[in-house]
Amino acid sequence: MTAHHTSVLLRGDDVAVLLDLTAGRLPAILHWGADLGDLSPADAAAVAAAAVPPPGPNLPDTPPRLALLPEAHTGWVGRPGISGSRAGRDWSPRFAVTGLTLDGAPLAADGSDAPTLATGRHLEVEAGDEASGLGLSLTVELAAGGLLRSRAILTNTGTDAYQLDDLTLAYPVPAEADELLDYGGRWGKERVPQRRAFTLGTHLREGRHGRTGADAATVLHAGSPGFGFAGGDVWGVHVGWSGNHTHYAERVLTGERVLGGGELLLPGEVVLEPGASYTSPWLHGSHGRGLDAVARRFHRFMRARPGHPDAARPVTLNVWEAVYFDHALEPLLELADIAASVGVERYVLDDGWFGARRDDTAGLGDWFVSPDVWPQGLHPLVDHVRGLGMQFGLWFEPEMVNLDSDVARAHPEWVMATGGRTPIPSRQQQVLNLGIAECYAHVRDAMSAVIAEYDLDYIKWDHNRDLIDAGTQPSGRPGVHAQTLAAYRLMDDLRAAHPRLEIESCSSGGARVDLGVLARTDRVWVSDCIDPLDRQRMLRGTTQLVPPEMMGSHIASGTSHTTGRSHTLNFRAATAVFGHLGIEWDLRTAGPEDRAELAEWIAFYKRERGLLLRGDLIRIDHPDPAILAGGVVAPDRSRAVFSHALVASPDTALPGRLRLPGLDADRRYRVRPLLAGRPPALRPPAWWGDGEGVVLTGAALAGAGVAAPLMFPENAVLHLVEAVD
């Protein structure tokens, strides 16, 4: 580690990350972005030398050095990477690197003063500070798809306890990244984009819900002003953690700009005894030309994982909006018969099947089939569903409890609380402390017994309240960190015991959407609002992180249960097919025409789900905010499906032309309307002809486009694009 210039280049998927580790210091990112091509050791040393600024007025004589874990001792005046102490001591550590491993092989100094450069994908850094009694392990890797990710492990090597208050990692971005975009939202309207200038100071997004939150930043971006889906250099970060967390963008007076994040720790939540360690969540970073390129790196990273869901995602019926808590065998059998007749492949029984759960005031936490409602257990329903060729799934909310339940009466100490008081109720429920070993074992064993008895294919895992006053009785010490890890462990344990089991993460809709939970589940529920007008925008925002095959995307009831708006089946279905398709509708109320049209849409989805759920995401920058357009393009550029949705009244009489980007510029494609069932009332453009469409090159489709149909607002039309040569 004593070479004159020690550099590591992480390179792949058109991305390069150049790290400087000169003189045994923590890695500093010199470049994160487009590939730099082949570099020599001298080239890397020159990049490092060229990056050193001159001394500034009234600043340290040596310019501060920004490491992956920012260090205050260098003169860095932004957020430090570590905040903590031993009763006020050892609060400003100075780490020295003691070991480097690249792609599993140790890196050693060659003893000369010549620059060194090693190239790979996965770097492990060991460091320590004897004076503060702290050890540090850093992992930095360029993962599949060109996604940069890193995490830290902090170890107490001292002789007394160390209280860790904060540990965050940071990635620098260039001065061109002068505009920020992240997401806000609420229940029923998740992932609403918001923009602002990247001004001096800190743009801090804290999630204190004890879960990710409907208002989470999701991905915090910085990019060149005016960046869109296709244009502008964009950098984005995401913290893969399902508890309290932080995302931040910071610009300091010396000019540096960083994007960073980590877990948000409550006071005294992590106290490291001698020899103990804390592992941070993964901080993921994605760079690309436009937001679509940033999103596709997240998607490719997820799709490269072992065990990632394939494109043959079963069409699902969830019966919540059909029956709510009113469970009875005959209506549920009728729903199963209708569902099978239109092509549904998975049937999910939602809340209300267990304990005394006849409404939302009682029974939560008692995970046994209600003998009053189901005297023969669930077997008559399960057997009937399976006999129709469908899979069967159940709803659980393992982390929550009603005080009016057997488990809460038997173990009031399992309810998370602090200050000698019961936390304020939310949705008539409290939080079960899975950080208590006995509580964890009880929930795990009860769930596992039900899963085993009915050989469940799928569980919808809900999480319907924030963790307020979430302490461990009787001490009251905060327990969100332990609760999050316990929830992860519970998912992992159930999957290990039941290898075929699929898990959906639902949390008051989309309040737990992050790569931490997606590492151990098969999809997320985007929102409890499935009104297609709102879902058009929410799907658009959610795909910035989540690949379509992992987004629960259901065809809603004719009249939305959350907004009261009514929409055609065409609009509801044309919206829902760009995700893991399902139905949230009392099909007993659907007439013959609706059922026939629904069957057509399901048949289309089954034919095209390989494209819809494995294609590259395309979202089109359209000048009219009333038009939302986009789609998916096959990786080999042979086929595509595009949507043209009118979500408001446009300001002009005619819709103009729609560009279709992402295709091979030199190939010729046939574009034709894709009209299932009863299409919306519209005036078609001339090029539709008799439905055969028009043949154009990919360059013409991206540059000149095609005339869009004239529709009433709150409708959508799909177009199928297929190569003809």
Which residues make up each annotated binding site for substrate? 187, 350-351, 427, 460-464, 506, 528
In this structure, the number of other CB atoms found within 10 A of the CB of residue 271 comes to 14
Between the alpha carbon of residue 198 and those of residues 35, 78, 224, the distances in Å are: 25, 15, 10
Q: Residue 510 forms beta bridges with which residues?
A: 507
Q: How far apart are CA 304 and CA 307, in angstroms?
A: 9
Q: How far apart are CA 509 and CA 562, in angstroms?
A: 12
Residues 14, 288: contact at Cβ < 8 Å? no
Q: Look at residues 18, 295, 78, 34 and name the one whose alpha carbon lies nearest to residue 181.
A: 295
| SS3 sequence of 603-652 | HHHHHHHHHHCCCEEEEECCCCCCEEEEEEECCCCCEEEEEEEECCCCCC
Q: How far apart are CA 287 and CA 422, in angstroms?
A: 45
Q: How many CA atoms does the CB half-sphere of 510 hold within 13 Å?
A: 32
Q: List Cβ neighbours of 118 (8 Å cut-off, separation of 6 or more).
A: 7, 8, 9, 102, 107
Q: Look at residues 112, 136, 139, 110 and name the one whose alpha carbon lies nearest to residue 19.
A: 139
Query: What are the backbone angles phi and psi of residue 181, rounded to the nearest 5°?
Result: -140, 130
In the DSSP assignment, the letter for residue 145 is G
In this structure, the number of other CB atoms found within 10 A of the CB of residue 673 comes to 20
Q: 487-524 burial, b for 16+ CB within 10 Å, e for fewer?
A: bbebbeebbeebeebbbbbbbbbbbbbbbbbbebbbbb
Q: Is 717 left (phi over 0), alpha (psi -120 to 50) or beta?
A: beta
Q: List Cβ neighbours of 369 (8 Å cut-off, separation of 6 or more).
A: 353, 354, 377, 378, 450
462 is catalytic: yes
Q: Is the dihedral of CA 559, 565, 566, 570 positive or negative?
A: negative
Identity of residue 261: G
- Catalytic one of 528, 531, 534, 616: 528
Residue ranges for the known binding site are 187, 350-351, 427, 460-464, 506, 528
Which residue has 């984005």 as its token pair?
236
In this structure, the number of other CB atoms found within 10 A of the CB of residue 437 comes to 9
C-alpha Rg value of the chain to the nearest Å: 27
383 is catalytic: no
User: Distance of alpha carbon 515 from its chain centroid, rounded?
Assistant: 5
Q: How far apart are CA 247 and CA 238, in angstroms?
A: 7
Helix (H, G, I), strand (E, B) or coil at 98: strand
Q: How many CA atoms does the CB half-sphere of 384 hold within 13 Å?
A: 18
- Catalytic one of 90, 129, 462, 531: 462
Q: How far apart are CA 81 and CA 86, in angstroms?
A: 17
Residues 557, 321: contact at Cβ < 8 Å? yes
Continuous H helices in 311-436: 320-323, 329-342, 379-387, 406-410
* DSSP assignment of 217-254: --SEEEESTT--SSSSEEEEEEEE-SSSEEEEEEE-TT
* DSSP assignment of 515-550: HHHHTS-SEEE--S---HHHHHHHHHHHTTTS-GGG
Q: How far apart are CA 155 and CA 162, in angstroms?
A: 9
Catalytic residues: 462, 528
